Amino acid sequence: MGTLDYIWLGILAVFQGPELFSIFGLPVSVTLVMILIGFLTGIAVGATPGLAGPIAMAIALPILISIFGYTPDALLPVMGFLIGVMKGATIGGAVPAILFNTPGTPDAYMTTLDGYPMTQKGQARKALRVAHFSSASGDTFSDIVLIICAPFLALLVEAYLDFPEKTALLILSLSFIGAVIGGSPAKGVLSTGLGLLAVYIGTGEDFYPRMSMGSDHLSQGFPIATSVLGVLIIGAVFKEMTDLWHQQRKSGTPPQFTDEGNQRLTRAEICRLLPFVGRSALIGTAIGALPGIGSTLAATLGYTVGRARHARTKSANVPDFGEGASEGIAATEAANSSVSGANLIPVLSLGIPGNAAAVFLILAAESIGGFNPGPSVFRFTQDVVNPELVIAFGLFTAMFIANALNWTIGGLFMRSMGVMVRIPKHILLPTVLLLTLTAIYVQETRIEAIWFALGFGALGYVMRLLAISPLPFVIAFILGGKLEESARQAFAATGGDAWFLFSSPISIGFIAASIGIILFSAGKKKHAA
């Protein structure tokens, strides 16, 4: 079994998986169909203000698991769907940003700056085309980097990292995520601590479920779906409803603009956009590969760098950034779209999720079973087929299929999504809430799960009020179990060496870096204040 054999098996796993129907005698695998449905759902959800990719993933996951069951055969269709949603939502987010000046997803905010002015000038369709072209380019670039880097990084980790170094690496990732996400490192660390504390309740190695206060309800710990969906989705729903209540819903219909002139992208225009797309794709990919820094920062950085270049190179009659420059849209969309692929590098090679979409991929893998994202996935075994590696290459294939869909039908579908903005948010949000609670219940089948989710939702709400980012909480919750496990194993494997974290140069380096990163960001913050 060589590398090429594995790649080929992965491709086959997607195309020859369980057959749904056939066209002219050609079988169409269920995975292909799921990627397509996911992609279209993603665009629609991204184009709806108030919804985002993670919400669609959260609601769809239990339904998908019941359709496909708890077998390894379920992994590719379910995760293919999620990948489709992830990619679709990224381009969908640009639609309301350009047409109505309301970003569909947070990272599309920068798109409004030039997109809406273009709409006002009667160039809406052109702006959408620019967004689609840049987004798809960034996405493709990012996927290529993922496929080259992930296996390589995993092999490095597996070859050089023993139990102590793996523990140190987890500590480094948590510190990094805590210090970098959101505006305040202190609050990031606090959020990380809360997430860890939550995952340690009811778990542990002793037969007594620790910190359960003797209660049977807490003795199984908090199911991962309740904390992740509670803090990420229910908390967000509560917060958005409060904002809506404050706004008392602005009435009236959005102003209408009619398109004028040629809306197509010429070859010359594409050439003009390419340098902006290229830079932003590089920025987005680099940022995406680091766990925890999301597409919003990528979009901001891409936009800023693009603006600097544009100011230097533009000719006099071309609009500035912020006044309807297509380069502005290109710089933003290429950056935020190139995050998604690269974000899977830490997920697949280390098992460390970096953003909400990655969190749901891990959730899917955990719920279905048979695939544990992490370095052990990339074991190129010779005699026996490593099924997890086949799945990994199947996922890569799925990403390229979603990419191809993006290039072919994505633009067309995206331009028809302008209607989604009319959906009344204040009715949509409670529906999403009930859907989320139902989704949690059908997976856990006990009412405590709903209470837990609601509690985490309230926590998520309070965190948002206090401007504490919920993402470190969620990532800490996911990594906390792994952290304790690997620390125990490192300790036992080294024969009870209390200084196991400092037993090798690599792990000393990781620990030093994690302390450094927290001190550095804290110092910087103090300086800024």
Within 225-254, the residues that bind other proteins by CB under 8 A are: 238, 241-242, 244-245, 248-249
Give me Rg for the CA atoms of the chain. Answer: 23
State yes or no: residue 318 binds other proteins (CB under 8 A).
no
Q: Which of 209, 354 has the CB closer to other proteins?
A: 209
Choosing from 5, 8, 446, 516, the residue that interacts with other proteins (CB under 8 A) is: 446
| Both structure tokens of 58 | 């959260």
C-alpha–C-alpha distance, residues 193 and 472, integer Å: 9
Q: Which is nearer to other proteins, 318 or 493 (CB)?
A: 493
Nearer to other proteins, 31 or 326 (CB): 31
The amino acid that residue 273 corresponds to is: L
Task: List the beta bridge partners of residue 27.
Answer: 22
Binding of other proteins at residue 387 (CB under 8 A)? no
The span from the CA of 13 to the CA of 21, in Å, is 16
Shortest Å distance, C-beta 238 to other proteins: 5
- Beta-carbon contacts of 29 under 8 Å, excluding residues fewer than 6 positions away, are 14, 15, 16, 17, 18, 19, 20
In the complex with other proteins, the residue whose CB is nearer, 87 or 464, is 464
The whole-angstrom separation of Cα 91 and Cα 410 is 8
Contacting other proteins (CB under 8 A), which of 77, 93, 178, 284?
178
Hey, what amino acid is at 385? V
Does residue 438 belong to the site contacting other proteins (CB under 8 A)?
Answer: yes
Q: Of 196, 277, 359, 501, which one interacts with other proteins (CB under 8 A)?
A: 196
Nearest approach in angstroms of CB 151 to other proteins is 15
**Cβ-based nearer residue to other proteins, 128 or 168:** 168
Q: Does 454 sit near other proteins (CB under 8 A)?
A: yes
Interaction between residue 523 and other proteins (CB under 8 A)? yes
Q: Are 341 and 361 in contact (CB under 8 A)?
A: no
Cα–Cα distance, 383 to 401 (Å, whole number): 30
23, containing H or E segment: strand 19-23
Pick 53 or 221: Cβ nearer other proteins? 221
Q: How far is the CB of 338 from other proteins (least distance, A)?
A: 28
By CB under 8 A, residue 311 contacts other proteins? no
Q: Report if residue 522 touches other proteins, rule: CB under 8 A.
A: yes
Token pair listed for 478: 């996911």
Find the shortest distance in angstroms from Cβ 273 to other proteins: 34
Question: In this structure, what token pair is assigned to residue 427?
Answer: 């009715």
- Residues 322 and 110: beta-carbon distance below 8 Å: no
For other proteins, the closer CB: 261 or 383: 383
Euclidean distance between CA atoms 366 and 352, whole angstroms: 13
- In a 13 Å sphere around the CA of 199, the CA atoms on its Cβ side amount to 22
Residue number, 16 or 431, with CB nearest to other proteins: 431
Residue 423 is a binding residue for other proteins (CB under 8 A):
no
Contact of 391 with 113, CB cutoff 8 Å: no
155 binds other proteins (CB under 8 A): no
What is the smallest separation between the CB atom of 313 and other proteins, expressed in angstroms?
34
Query: Is the Cβ of residue 116 or residue 238 nearer to other proteins in the bound state?
Result: 238
Cα–Cα separations (whole angstroms), residue 355 to 189, 293, 460? 17, 7, 16
| Minimum CB–partner distance for residue 477 and other proteins (Å) | 10
In this structure, what DSSP letter does residue 409 have? I
Does 503 contact other proteins by CB under 8 A?
A: no
Between residue 328 and residue 367, which ones bind other proteins under the rule CB under 8 A? 367
> Whole-number minimum distance, CB 118 to other proteins, in Å?
31
How many Cβ atoms sit within 10 Å of the Cβ of residue 164? 26
CA atoms within a 13 Å half-sphere pointing along the CA-CB vector of 225 = 27
Interface with other proteins in residues 202-221 (CB under 8 A): 202-213, 216, 219-221
Amino acid at site 218: L
What residues from 471 to 490 belong to the interface with other proteins (CB under 8 A)? 476, 480, 483-485, 487-489
Nearest-angstrom CA–CA distance, 94 and 90: 7
Q: Cβ closer to other proteins: 15 or 441? A: 441
Other CB atoms within 10 A of residue 5 CB: 12
Residue 499 touches other proteins, criterion: CB under 8 A: no
Find the binder of other proteins among 115, 138, 188, 351 (CB under 8 A): 188
Helix (H) / strand (E) containing 363: helix 356-368
d(CA 216, CA 319): 65
Minimum distance, C-beta of residue 365 to other proteins, in the bound complex (Å): 9
Show the site string, 38-77: x = touches other proteins by CB under 8 A, - = not.
------------------------xx--xx-xxxx-----
140/436 with CB nearer other proteins: 436
CB-nearer residue toward other proteins: 68 or 133: 68
Count the residues of the shown chain that bind other proteins, applying the rule CB under 8 A: 109
- Does residue 37 bind other proteins (CB under 8 A)? no
**Strand runs labelled E in 249-352:** none
- Pick the closest to residue 43 from 105, 114, 99, 116 (CA basis): 105
Under the binding rule (CB under 8 A), the answer on residue 278 touching other proteins is no
- Pairwise CA distance, residues 330 & 115, whole Å: 10
